[in-house]
Chain A
């Protein structure tokens, strides 16, 4: 089975802090993604990466950056967390069979 893991299930940070969300997949997938999910807005794509050191902006990249130094790991970085970044963050990796999601990180920014 494909396994996508995320570093934390729950995280509480303060406004202005730098936040790192880590995602690891064990299936040697080339493509990895970061989404955020908010009530009434569904899942929105923040960034995705189709290879090591490659990245592309999704629909809502503002306030975020990403890092893909190794194929299995894709990190989402909030340079200076703000309260409007309180959300559920979902990482995924993909193969031709579909996208496989991690359990999510519920981030609260106070």
Chain B
């Protein structure tokens, strides 16, 4: 399973765009990249998933370069409620291996007024 590296913490202000980059140098061909958000005393919440190029949904965008050795989660115009820990995970999309997700320490994002 590909190991990921993310910044431990980030600070931002309300209304700004936040980009969190994750490195996954040994990503495999059948690996997908998934991001989760976790608030204190709650389970992680799925944000977005992608394989290559760009994926966008109602809450975030995910940018994946051609070599797929990194990915960037982009949160547009953050608010105080976006203060949370963000996890980047890499795992095969199918097969039993997909399920063995490894959560690292994540990135603790603090949004200030």
> Chain A interface (Cβ within 8 Å of chain B)?
4, 31, 33, 35, 40, 42-45, 48, 50, 56, 58, 88, 90-92, 94, 96-104, 106
Contacts of A33 in B (CB 8 A): 99
Q: How many A-B contacts at CB < 8 Å in the complex? A: 51
Contacts of B45 in A (CB 8 A): 101
Q: Is the CB of B46 within 8 A of A42?
A: no
> Chain B interface (Cβ within 8 Å of chain A)?
34, 41-46, 49, 87, 93-94, 96, 98-106
Q: How far is the CA of A104 from the CA of B86 in the complex (A)?
A: 17
Contacts of B41 in A (CB 8 A): 88, 104, 106
Q: How far is the CA of A98 from the CA of B50 in the complex (A)?
A: 11
Q: How far is the CA of A90 from the CA of B103 in the complex (A)?
A: 13
Q: Is the CB of A98 within 8 A of B94?
A: no
If over half of B's interface residues share one DSSP class (helix, strand or loop), that class is named, otherwise mixed; here it is loop
If over half of A's interface residues share one DSSP class (helix, strand or loop), that class is named, otherwise mixed; here it is strand
Given A98-B46, A101-B44, check contact A45 B106 (CB 8 Å): no
B107 shortest CB reach to chain A, Å: 12
A-B contact pairs, 12 of them (CB 8 A): A31-B99, A42-B104, A42-B106, A45-B102, A50-B99, A56-B96, A97-B46, A97-B49, A98-B46, A98-B49, A103-B43, A104-B43
Which chain B residue has the least Cβ–Cβ distance from A48? B99
A29 shortest CB reach to chain B, Å: 10
Which chain A residue has the least Cβ–Cβ distance from B104? A42
Contacts of A45 in B (CB 8 A): 100-102
Q: How far is the CA of A43 from the CA of B104 in the complex (A)?
A: 7
B7 shortest CB reach to chain A, Å: 15
Q: How far is the CA of A96 from the CA of B34 in the complex (A)?
A: 11
Contacts of A90 in B (CB 8 A): 43-44
